[in-house]
DNA sequence: CTGCCCGAACTGTGATCACACATCACTAGC
DNA sequence: GCTAGTGATGTGTGATCACAGTTCGGGCAG
């Protein structure tokens, strides 16, 4: 097949289905905490909001329920999962273990470029968290950027995907709280943990990086649990 | 609403949709290696085979693709993912880390009942693997039973789910190989690793349990990689 | 005024149809 | 003889309809 070399320059046409787009839209809502635990959603309503039929939304929702990011009650009602304190604690412990693992590997094998990216993300978060009146929604994004800059450096793509799914489950709880109480950022706990993590990654100290990330997760989880930020999943 | 207390004893009616059933059927095919990497499947054909319309199959497939257990090519072709050697190695490393983590926790906090269940599963596998002509398909099931008896004892349900998804991705490669070459069982490598793991769990030695499970995974992965058991994902 | 019941509106689930696209066998043209 | 175009067939994707089940509010009976 001989043809003009100009064809080689053509960018591949992105082949995105409506279901993919719907999935991204719902994921974003969940990860950013704009969908709170217990919120119900309807296929037809979200389909109307997205301007498509219910089919793409159905597929997106079925993916999210498979990942545990959404919950279909026995009544067939569709809602954002409400975690019991026990389930939330188990999720937090899992995250501490798995994300600690990724952080340790990142510390040991990060490239100079990856380290630079991590430091940049840490600086961005610190600038926001240290400001007079931090924007909760933006803090959510920057915190996520920093964490995933670290996990991207661990060199194991499957591990990164696992963590992304864990964040989808924890996102509504964590970020709803962070949006509601951005003042917690001023306590500096997150900033301190982040600084410890970056220092450990810079020093190629795996265990220290794991400990810092785990402490960051544990601090936030403990704060939310102590505040009773979790509603019970029971109906009266 | 006052009613007879006998009603409290009634078991909940399992509300299984056709999509759930289709998901289980496909998962089983994947986990047991009866669907080999590169195999294509068609919504309409599998729907006909299951005696339902395409809708439930569509939903099951969309869940599986979200988990990475199935792959929808840019051509929209649906197939079991073909792992490159690099991707397979990354998956194996992730499994060694994550499943090692779970095994370590299981060793430290297993209950007597869980230990008994693990020992029973180990004995069942050993009996089969040590037999004259081991049945590959049955070995797949018993190996899975043993591993998940350990992971169930780790006390973190989210971690167990993560591992189940990893097995869905690795299953076609591993189990296709095991079915094709059941003679490898007679080398005793798996049996030795299993025995080490059970001993470590019995002794509540977390690091040793992690090492044994990781070695079990690593041995199998190394064997498959050395045999060139992975086809390239490229088309001629 | 309170408790119950019934019906309208809505839910997810499944089936069916329509469509754009991919694949492959085949044939016309060089 | 080999390539390029063409048609039939099958593919996933999306829309629409049908249905069983739920939810919720209004109205009737007590």
What does DSSP assign to residue B40?
Answer: B
Angle at A159 between CA A154 and CA A162, to 5 degrees: 140
Instruction: Tally A–B CB contacts below 8 A.
Output: 72
Confidence bin at A6 (pLDDT 50/70/90): low
User: How far apart (Å, rounded) are the C-alpha atoms in residues A143 and A154?
Assistant: 18
CA dist., res. A231 & res. B124, Å (int): 44
Residue B44, CB, less than 7 Å from strand D?
A: yes
Site from A68, A159, A214 to mutate, B interface, most B CB atoms within 10 angstroms: A159
Report the phi/psi class of residue B39: left, alpha or beta, with left for phi > 0 and alpha for psi in -120 to 50: beta
The tens digit of pLDDT for each residue in B97-139 reads: 999 999 999 999 999 999 999 999 999 998 887 777 777 778 8
Is residue B78 pLDDT above 70, yes or no?
A: yes
- CATH C-level class of A85-226: mainly alpha
CA distance to partner chain A, nearest, from residue B169 (Å): 10
Tokens of A171: 């996102």
> Which chain B positions have a beta carbon within 8 Å of A106's beta carbon?
none
Give the model's pLDDT for residue A7: 61
The radius of gyration computed from the CA coordinates of chain A, to the nearest angstrom, equals: 20
Q: Is the CB of B58 under 7 A from strand D?
A: yes
Beta pairing partners, A40: A79
CA torsion sign for B21, B27, B31, B35 is positive
Q: Find all residues with CB under 8 Å of B67, minimum gap 6, and list them.
A: A66, A67, B165, B168, B169
In chain A, where the domains are located = 18-79, 85-226
**Chain B residues 130 to 169 with C-beta below 7 Å from nucleic strand D:** none
pLDDT at B229 over 60: no
The pLDDT of A110-131, averaged and rounded, is 90
- CATH architecture observed for domain B18-79: Orthogonal Bundle (1.10)
The pLDDT of residue B127 is 87
Q: How confident is the model at residue A231 (pLDDT cuts 50, 70, 90)?
A: low
**Cα B46 to Cα B64: distance, rounded to the nearest angstrom:** 14
């Amino acid at each position: 097949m001989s043809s003009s070399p100009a064809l080689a320059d053509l960018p591949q046409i992105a082949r995105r289905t409506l279901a993919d787009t719907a999935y991204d839209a719902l994921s974003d809502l969940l990860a950013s905490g704009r969908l709170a635990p217990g919120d119900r959603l309807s296929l037809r309503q979200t389909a109307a909001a997205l301007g498509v039929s219910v089919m793409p939304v159905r597929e997106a929702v079925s993916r999210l329920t498979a990942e545990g990011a959404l919950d279909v009650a026995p009544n067939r009602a569709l809602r954002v999962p409400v975690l019991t304190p026990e389930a939330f604690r188990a999720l937090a412990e899992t995250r501490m273990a798995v994300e600690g693992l990724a952080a340790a590997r990142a510390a040991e094998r990060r490239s100079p470029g990856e380290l630079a990216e991590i430091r940049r993300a840490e600086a961005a978060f610190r600038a926001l968290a240290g400001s007079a009146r931090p924007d909760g929604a933006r803090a959510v994004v920057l915190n996520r950027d920093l964490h995933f800059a670290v996990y991207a450096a661990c060199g194991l793509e499957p591990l990164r995907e696992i963590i992304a799914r864990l964040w989808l489950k924890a996102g509504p709880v964590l970020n709803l709280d962070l949006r509601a109480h951005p003042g917690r950022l001023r306590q500096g706990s997150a900033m301190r943990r982040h600084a410890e993590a970056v220092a450990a990654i810079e020093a190629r100290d795996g265990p220290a990086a794991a400990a810092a990330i785990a402490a960051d997760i544990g601090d936030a989880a403990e704060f939310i649990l102590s505040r009773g930020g979790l509603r019970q999943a029971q109906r009266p």
